[in-house]
Structure 1
């Protein structure tokens, strides 16, 4: 009535089948901890770190967008500095020239001034122009999200790389003349965009020589301010590039850490699968033998 051998063999076969199912699941999914039931602690850690990496991915995208804006502004700023250098040379040349020659020189300066306006106006990236901003706007700073930090209590702090528009503004888009190029010089009373070497009317000074010197003084101030602005953009550009590299490495490090917790060792699992398949075959054979022992009793009732 009770076949103890068969019951033992069946229990052993069921245990082998359960282990075989787990191993096959690990091989098919690639995870040894795929659900919380596999290992609650590891699954919880891995889930949290994956969530953090998604946030880091957004940070990486923000850094990429910010890098595009800063790179565009930095390139345009360097180009504008070269043009201002040319204007300075033209002013100095005009000082040593006669009235007719000054008119010709002014036509060259006007062309350079138009080039400045066009280059700066075209220095846009994703709809943003860092060199031509509104001095009256409440939006005074470019914020580039650079980090996502979560402490043990769950409190989140985001870091950012900030650039003050006032420090790099070349032209005021609100026509308030608060940019480096469109604001009137404190010495000559003329801006880099409206000076005219063929007509010194309105230029501060009593003689032409003094007026030209005052124009050159203000141009030197413009160059100094633009150089400082280029330095700020260059520093921000370097920091954004370094942060992009760091976030990329951080994401790789987190992925490796999560993998060490939850990934299956495919070599180990494949070896275990072969062993369990052999055990399964032996279990089936053992159950068959246990059942055949009971069948032999029937032979006693054969006439």
Structure 2
């Protein structure tokens, strides 16, 4: 039924035109913004996911800054450690020269002193933004490493930063010291006696090492007539058991730094014994030591049932206030002006070189780790950006084609509406 009051055809045509205009507006918005999801009203779920991922991408930019700062700090430390290794190599050359009898040891000592001062200068200058990875003498747990923000981890509880620990490797020459009072002293946590068996082991596997904890190696030799060895050279205490007071002045001791293991402590004690042995002309046949893990193997080719050497490992807790020495502490005692001093320096220089090369290698490994993490974070960020683009970016080729289609539909809808609006005028012609 036709009516001049109600034009259903025009209403339908108008609704169609309005829908097409709305679609055209959406497509034009996509083309102008480049996004198919520009706000939460476009697609709430997709918009929320995209915003979360965009926040993660921004977070990774800050992570990259942290990694770059850490990498620069490590680069400075590595170059300094390599320089120190070169300087120690030069010192080794002078030490070897000093082994001769017809050389001017005073001048050699002066050269060694200059190189030693240069090493100290390098250690002091090897800092970046106030952080020096070549200094680690604080007797505080956790002070032996620095945290570098490495990446972000998202789980059910939210987002958290995950740090990469960078280990400090001390190459200073400061002297360690055992406090005269305080702390908890434990005598003979490990002990052994060399007699006719002529071998033994100091096993410290049950000892827990903490930063600032002091260790002493006590030797008590018995040879009343000095026929096998000089008793005074191998007797550090008045009795076989070391006292708390005697530990303060122990000839062989080590104060652990943060990060040290039992193996590190045993190695350092053996190095200090070797220095003592060289200074006091104690032959390896009389007493020798080898560090192996958490133990020290000791041996003698001269002990028997009456001429014995008793050894004990003693500890003092960190709360005594012990002083942590530098990683190259033994270098400060080099004095090649005497034969025994030259011998001592020769026995110690290889260990110091190992300390420096291990430090340089460790810094290099840490630097490579940060570079690898940086590269991975870059790839991860690119993948996240691509994912965000897939979710919210508009396909401009598709949008352009859709716009042309909708514009044609718009023209047709306008014509259809015009025809529908002309229907009442046709009805008026019936009454003429």
Question: What TM-score do the two structures reach when normalised by structure 2?
Answer: 0.60
**Is 1:284 matched up with 2:414?**
yes
Equivalent in 37, 40, 62 of residue 41 of structure 2: 37
1:9 alignment partner in structure 2: 13
| 1:218-243 per-position Cα deviation (integer Å, ceiling 9, x unaligned) | 11111112222222212211111111
Conservation of the 8 A alpha-carbon contact between 2:336 and 2:345: no
1:107 alignment partner in structure 2: 110
Distance 2:173 2:395 in 1: 61
2:336 alignment partner in structure 1: 197
Equivalent in 128, 136, 140 of residue 139 of structure 2: 136
Distance 2:122 2:418 in 1: 88
Conservation of the 8 A alpha-carbon contact between 1:161 and 1:236: no
More strand by share: 2
1:169 alignment partner in structure 2: 170
Superposed, which structure 2 residues align to 1:31-180 within 5 Å?
A: 31-96=35-100, 98=102, 101-137=104-140, 139-151=143-155, 153-165=156-168, 168-171=169-172
Conservation of the 8 A alpha-carbon contact between 1:133 and 1:172: no
Conservation of the 8 A alpha-carbon contact between 1:135 and 1:176: no
Conservation of the 8 A alpha-carbon contact between 2:13 and 2:417: yes
Q: Which runs of 5+ in 2 are unaligned?
A: 178-254, 258-267, 277-328
253 and 172 in structure 1: CA distance in 2 versus 1, 3 angstrom threshold: farther
Question: What TM-score do the two structures reach when normalised by structure 1?
Answer: 0.84
Name whichever of 106-115 and 249-258 sits farther off: 106-115
Q: Which runs of 5+ in 1 are unaligned?
A: 201-207
Distance 1:28 1:65 in 2: 39
1:144 alignment partner, SS class: strand
Deviation of the 1:97 alpha carbon: 5.2
Equivalent in 28, 39, 46 of residue 24 of structure 1: 28
Name whichever of 225-234 and 71-80 sits farther off: 225-234
Conservation of the 8 A alpha-carbon contact between 2:133 and 2:167: no
Conservation of the 8 A alpha-carbon contact between 1:188 and 1:211: no
1:21 alignment partner, SS class: helix
1:146 alignment partner, SS class: strand
2:424 alignment partner in structure 1: 294
1:224 alignment partner in structure 2: 354
The total of aligned residue pairs comes to 286
Name whichever of 282-291 and 81-90 sits farther off: 282-291
Distance 1:215 1:110 in 2: 13
| 1:202-253 per-position Cα deviation (integer Å, ceiling 9, x unaligned) | xxxxxx1x43121111111111122222222122111111111111101111
